[in-house]
Structure 1
Amino acid sequence: MEGDMTDAERITRAFATAIEKLRFLDAFSLLDDDGKYHVIGTTPASGVYHGPQDVFDRLVPVLGGFKEPPAVKFEEPIIQGDRAVLLGSGTGLGPTGPYNQPYYAFVLKFADGKLMEMIEFMDTQMLVSAVFGEAEPA
């Protein structure tokens, strides 16, 4: 069956499997060197990362303090043409508190068989409280 998969299907499934197995470097290595990874919001981790090396250089150190990395589980991916959506949830223990994300969404975009863009949607306040120690606004 894997031989019948499109590049989008193969890469989407490889990304999901790597994240679920806590192999974050493998997952983000799937992003093309010219690709972009967007983390939504205004947190210290939010922004646009350009290629996997930028993710490793700038994002990994910011999120590297997890006491228990988030255990993420994804639903069956939604893949159509050059787009894919991964819906999931995850829990872990950040450096400053519990990390419970009941809803994640990764929107992936492909071009010429390569992963060119990822946008991650999540509860950014949960990220702020669990990783950066900031309380929820009143």
Structure 2
Amino acid sequence: MEPGRTAYEARFAGEKQGPRGTVDEWEMLCPSAKAIWQRMEDEVAKMIFAEIQRFYDAEIGMLMHQAEFWHENGAPAAVHHRVMNADSYFQIVSLMHDLAEAKEPLKLLSRRITTIPAGTYPPLAHIHAYRDVTFAAKELAAANARKRGQGNA
């Protein structure tokens, strides 16, 4: 400690003063302020994560209805596209669910998070095969052959 300074002055000598003093000074006056602020941030983050989860749940439902429609109407590329998008969205839903349930979601989010491997969303059995690109390509070729056959008849 420098001569002529109090312990308090020495402690805060290098810190910038704000309108309410230094951050440490504010925490000394109200020790729970940081904890309260952290809880508020986490609660707001959880609400946001829950809303994102709800949005993507609805998107997945819409994509699966579209996949069923295009499967019935012989468009395998469209089915493959929608199933793959639903898989991606399901990874987002799973991540948002984990974050919304976490004790400290912002800390969890700031870490590197590994996503769920592709193919975890369970569509119906006849749609599941469209995840395989080669299967989707074969179905597309067969659908094109059927259309060419109908056009020549």
User: Which TM-score bucket, shorter chain as reference?
Assistant: under 0.3
Normalization by structure 1: what TM-score?
Answer: 0.27
- Structure showing greater Rg: 2
Normalization by structure 2: what TM-score?
Answer: 0.25
Higher strand share: 1
